Chain A
Amino acid sequence: MTFSAASKRYNWRVVCLSLLYVAFLFAAIYAFNHQLLHGAVAYGAAILPALPIIGIFGAMGRYLVEEQDEYIRMLTVRQTLWATGFALSVATIWGFLESFDLVGHIDAYYVAVLWFGGLGLGSCMNKLTLGAPVRC
C-alpha cells in the first residue's frame, strides 16, 4: 500500500507530537513528584502533556484538508466518525455507571485513549463494509 504525501506528513506530525507528549509527561511527573511547581505554573505544567494530544487531533483535521484523494478522505472521515461515536458512547455509559456508584472513577483524558482505539475500530468497519484496506 502506498501512502500519499498528505498521509506521510500526517504520520510525521503524529510521531513528532507523540515524542513531545512523552517529554512533557515525564517532565510534568518529575516536577510534581519533586514538588517543584506551585500556583499558576502548576496548572500550566499539568496541562502541558495535553497539548501534543490536542495537536494530534489538529493533525488529523489538517490531514483531511490536505488529502487530495477523495476516496481515501471519505474513508478517513468514516474512521474518525466511528472513533468519535465509540469514545463518546463509552464515556457516556461510564459516566452514568459512575454516577450510580457502580464503577470507580476514571480520569477524563481516557476519552482520548478511547478515541485513538476507535480509529482502529473505524478502520475495521471500513474493511468490513467497503473492503477497504485497514489503516490506523
Chain B
Amino acid sequence: MENRLRLLRAERGWSQQDLAGRLEVSRQSVNAIETGKYDPSLPLAFRIAELFDLPIEDIFVSPARRSSKAI
C-alpha cells in the first residue's frame, strides 16, 4: 500500500531505527511498510497514525481511491 511514512519520518529527522523504536517494531518492519512491501495491521496502522498525530488516511493511500482517481 502506498503511504507517506518515509516523508513524515524525514520531516521529523528520524531514522528508520528511531521510528521502529517508537513503534516497538523492528527496523525491517518500518522499511517494509515504507517501501510498500508490507501492509500493517489495523492496530499498527493506528499506532503509526497516533504517533504522527494524523488520521490514518493522511498516511496510507486507500487502494480503492487511488484506482478510482486513475480512472
A69 at the interface (CB under 8 A from B): yes
Partner of B40, one of A4, A70, A133: A70
A-contacting residues of B (Cβ < 8 Å)?
24-29, 32-33, 35, 37-38, 40-41, 44
- CB neighbours (8 Å) of B33 from chain A are 71
Q: Report the minimal beta-carbon distance from B43 to chain A, rounded to whole angstroms.
A: 9
Q: Are B26 and A4 in contact (CB under 8 A)?
A: yes
- CB neighbours (8 Å) of A72 from chain B are 26, 28-29
Chain A: which residue is nearest B25 at the CB level?
Answer: A69
Q: Can you list 17 contacts pairing A with B, beta carbon distance less than 8 Å?
A: A1-B28, A2-B27, A68-B24, A70-B25, A70-B29, A70-B44, A71-B25, A71-B28, A71-B32, A71-B33, A72-B26, A72-B28, A72-B29, A74-B38, A130-B37, A132-B32, A133-B28
A-B contact count (CB 8 A): 33
A133 to B28, CA, bound (A): 8
Q: Report the minimal beta-carbon distance from A106 to chain B, rounded to whole angstroms.
A: 37
Chain A: which residue is nearest B38 at the CB level?
Answer: A71
- CB neighbours (8 Å) of A68 from chain B are 24
Interface residues of A in 86-115 (CB under 8 A from B): none
A7 to B1, CA, bound (A): 28
Chain A: which residue is nearest B26 at the CB level?
Answer: A69
Interface residues of A in 108-136 (CB under 8 A from B): 130-133
Give the residue among A71, A131, A133 with the most B Cβ atoms within 10 A. Answer: A71
